[in-house]
C-alpha cells in the first residue's frame, strides 16, 4: 500500500522532536479525524540577509502517511528561505515520498499546511510583514479546520459530555 520511501520515513523519521523555544508553531489537523500535526520552526538569517528555516521539527498524532509526510517536509524545509518554504506544497511532499495512497492525499497530507501555519505564526508574532498569498492560505487552512470541527460537532459534544460524566 505504501511506497518504500514512505516506510523509510515512517520507521526512521527525521527531525521528530518537540522544539524548545520555537519561533513559530503550526498546529493543523484534528484529533477527531485521526491526524494532528504540530510543526515547529526556528528562523535565522543567511549571509544575504534573507530569513531562513534554520531548524524545523514536529510532533504528529496520525497514521503512517501523516508521520512520513511530517518527516519529509522537514528534509525539504530545513535551510530553505521563507519564500522557498512557502512554495513546498502538499503535492510536492507526496511526490518526494514516491506518492501516497489516494485516500490519504487529503486527510493525512497536512505537512505543508503545518509549515505554512508555523511561518504565519512566526511572522504574526514577530510583527513581520505577511504576504497576501500567505494570508490567503492561512485563512483557507483555518476555514477547512473549522469545517471539520463542525462536521464532527456531534462527536465533540458527545465526548465532552462523557468526560464531564467522569
Partner 1 sequence: MKETIYMDNAATTPVAESVVKKMSEFFRDKYGNPSSLYSPASTAKKEGLDWSREKIAELLGVDAGEIVFTSGATESDNLAIKGVALKLEEPGHFITSEIEHHAVLHSFEWLEDQGHEVTYLDVDENGLVKPDDLREALRDDTALVSIMYANNEIGTIEPIGELARITRENGTLFHTDAVQAFGKFPLELENVDMLSASGHKIYGPKGIGLLYCRSGVKLEPLIHGGGHESGLRSGTENVPGIVGLAKATELTFEEMGREQERQRQLRDRIIDEVSRIPDTVLNGPREGRLANNINFSFQGIEGESIVMKLDNKNIAASTGSACSSPSLEPSHVLLAIDLPMTMAHGSLRLTLGRQTSEADVDYLLDVLPGVIEDLRRASPLSN
Contact residues toward partner 1 (CB under 8 A) are 2, 7, 10-11, 13, 16, 18, 27, 31-38, 59-67, 103-104, 107-108, 152, 155, 158-159, 162-163
CB of 73 to partner 1, least distance (A): 14
Nearer to partner 1, 52 or 94 (CB): 94
CB of 66 to partner 1, least distance (A): 7
| Residues taking part in catalysis | 33, 107
Are 62 and 111 contacting, i.e. CB atoms less than 8 angstroms apart? no
Give the strands of the sheet with 24-30, arranged side by side: 24-30, 35-45, 51-61
Are 93 and 71 contacting, i.e. CB atoms less than 8 angstroms apart? no
Nearer to partner 1, 81 or 152 (CB): 152
Distance between CA atoms of 104 and 129, rounded to whole angstroms?
34
Amino acid at each position: 500500500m505504501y511506497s518504500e520511501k514512505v516506510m523509510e520515513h515512517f520507521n526512521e523519521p527525521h527531525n521528530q522532536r518537540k522544539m524548545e523555544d520555537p519561533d513559530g508553531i503550526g498546529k493543523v489537523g484534528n484529533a477527531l479525524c485521526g491526524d494532528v500535526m504540530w510543526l515547529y520552526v526556528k528562523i535565522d538569517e543567511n549571509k544575504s540577509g534573507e530569513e531562513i528555516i534554520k531548524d524545523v521539527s514536529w510532533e504528529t498524532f496520525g497514521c503512517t502517511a501523516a508521520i512520513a509526510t511530517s518527516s519529509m517536509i522537514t528534509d525539504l524545509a530545513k535551510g530553505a528561505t521563507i519564500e522557498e518554504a512557502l512554495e513546498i506544497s502538499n503535492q510536492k511532499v507526496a511526490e518526494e515520498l514516491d506518492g501516497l495512497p489516494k485516500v490519504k492525499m487529503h486527510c493525512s497530507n497536512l505537512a505543508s499546511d503545518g509549515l505554512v501555519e508555523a511561518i504565519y505564526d512566526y511572522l504574526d508574532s514577530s510583527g513581520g510583514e505577511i504576504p497576501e498569498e500567505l494570508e490567503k492560505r492561512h485563512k483557507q487552512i483555518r476555514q477547512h479546520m473549522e469545517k471539520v470541527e463542525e462536521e464532527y460537532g456531534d462527536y465533540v459534544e458527545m465526548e465532552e459530555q462523557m468526560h464531564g460524566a467522569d
